Amino acid sequence: MHIVMFADQHLASLGGAQVSMRLQRRFLERAGHTVTIVAPGMSRRRAPAARPDAAAEPDGPTPDGEEAPQPDDRDPDEGPAPSEPQQDEGYVETPSIPITADREYGLSWPGRRTDRFVDAELAKRPPIDVVHIQGDFWGALTGHRYARREGLPVVHTMHNRVDVGLAAIVPFPGLALRALNAWRRQALPLAMEPEPPGVDGWAYLGGLAAFADAVTAPSAHFARRLEAHGVFPHVDVIWNGIDDDVLDAAVAAGPTAREPGPPRFVWLGRMSPEKRLLPFLEAVAESRIRADIEVIGGGAQEGAAKRLVERLKPAASVTFAGRLPYEETLRRIARADAVVQTSIGFETQGMTVFEAASLGTPAVVSDPDIAHELASGFWPVGNGLIPDASTHALARAVRAAATDIAAGTAPTPDPSTGERFRQSSRTDAMLEVYRRVTGAR
């Protein structure tokens, strides 16, 4: 089977969706299938690699261990930078312009110029069986436009809550969502006339899903939300997984017994407001626990986080480890007594706690949806039923976790989580969806 995946960002860039797609591609190819990735070319040059999917990182906080790339010296006003030489024939890099100051991320405008480029590049490749959309914006629009031109079946994986994501990064999210819906109607109009006006994130996702033969989501709670808001009648739940080999190696290298010392907590992720690192550090100070806190990752709030620790002077020891290779991150998780998850209503899966559970490490969980999906092996923040974003609730949960760890009574994650989280099982599940939509044509 030849699967073409469309993404909003190049798979060598940081991000949870990119990590998942790299892993999906690797395991589909192991199973004998061909995968082509269509994504914006990167303006920011990275060190050469045999394949952009040669390593992965959880939820976007950790790069693949390469040295920091040097920024492209091209003037942004010159327009889209030419794509780097194709090191991997499985990639089609669409002309793009950088959209972030560090030039890590790019935009490929969904229109006739991009259509012609995609058509010409994919015409050089074997016949295509299915189009798999794994983006929410220009990648999604470009992919659906291509599938409609070619009459190909479409699977669309919804990775993000568009409404929550925009609210975290733009000052007027309501206006942004109206503009987004108008953009979708212009780039990908529905057959019905007049088309119902969309005003929110669910309407936007529904406008994309209208062109799909199947829709998947990385968690049951996100799938049910998509169905409840009329995005798609039935959404298949297929978790984002972890590389079988990496998981086996991490489990084999993990400690056989707890190392002596105070309770050890790990927080990892992108240091941005929606991830709520600063409230966590405030909660650590308020809890007055004596523990070792390790913060893994990087981002815009790193400086603010370090200044906050200096000002609050918590009883716990707080260490900023920076961005780490994925395998090292897993080793740190395996050695920790608990992982701390602090975002609320933002994650569509919450990879970190599932990685931790696969390694036998429990978690402090702020998002009740993630806690419900995890089922066991965690301390809830608040009552565990409704979200509680207060620093007091988080401090109480951290204090309870530290007490249980010291007493040797920490909860134990369900051992079956690791097996259900393996990428091989997730690939098998996705192949069933591919066969369903191709057989229905």
Which residue has better confidence, 87 or 424?
424
Long-range contacts formed by 195-204: CB under 8 A, 24+ apart: 199/174, 200/163, 201/161, 201/162, 201/163, 201/164, 201/166, 201/177, 202/163, 202/226, 202/229, 202/230, 202/231, 204/162, 204/177, 204/180
pLDDT of residue 60: 38
Average pLDDT over residues 409-437: 92
Tell the residue number behind the tokens 């394949």, with chain if given: 51
- The model's pLDDT over 358-386, given as tens digits with 9 standing for 90+, comes to 999 999 999 999 998 888 899 999 998 89
Flag whether pLDDT at 330 surpasses 60. yes
Question: In angstroms, rounded to a whole number, what is the distance separating the alpha carbons of residues 337 and 261?
Answer: 11
Please report, to the nearest 10 degrees, the dihedral formed by the alpha carbons of residues 243, 245, 247, 248 taken in order. Answer: 160
Mean pLDDT of the chain: 86
User: DSSP string covering 53-97, please?
Assistant: TS---TTSSS--SPPPPPPP-S-GGG-SBPPPP-S-TTEEEE-BE
Pick the more confident residue, 434 or 19. Answer: 434
Average pLDDT score over residue span 131-138? 94
pTM: 0.80
Instruction: Report residue 197's pLDDT band, with 50, 70 and 90 as the boundaries.
Output: low
Place of tokens 């079946």: 153
Would you tell me how many other CB atoms lie within 10 Å of the CB of residue 37?
25
Residue 193: predicted pLDDT: 54
How many alpha carbons lie under 13 Å from residue 34 in its C-beta half-sphere?
14
Nearest residue to 106 via CA among 43, 165, 161: 43
Residues in the chain: 441
Could you give the CA distance from residue 429 to residue 420 in angstroms, rounded to a whole number? Answer: 11
8 A C-beta contact, residue 134 and residue 17: yes
pLDDT band at 309 (very low <50, low <70, confident <90, very high): very high
Rounded Cα distance between 18 and 25, Å, is: 11
Among 355, 359, 356, 370, smallest CA distance to 242 is for 355
Nearest to 324 by CA among 279, 267, 281: 267
Cα–Cα distance between 33 and 143 in angstroms, integer? Answer: 20
Categorize the per-residue pLDDT at 255 as very low, low, confident or very high, splitting at 50, 70 and 90.
confident
Helices 277-287 & 391-407 angle (0-180, nearest 10): 60
Tell me which residue of 23, 67, 63, 69 sits closest to 325, measured CA to CA: 63
Residue-level pLDDT at 82: 34
For residue 363, the cross-strand partners are 339, 378
pLDDT at site 386: 92
Residue 122 β-bridge partners: none
Distance CA 135, CA 398 (A): 35
Task: State residue 441's pLDDT score.
Answer: 61
The separation between CA 335 and the C-alpha centre of its own chain, rounded to angstroms, equals 24
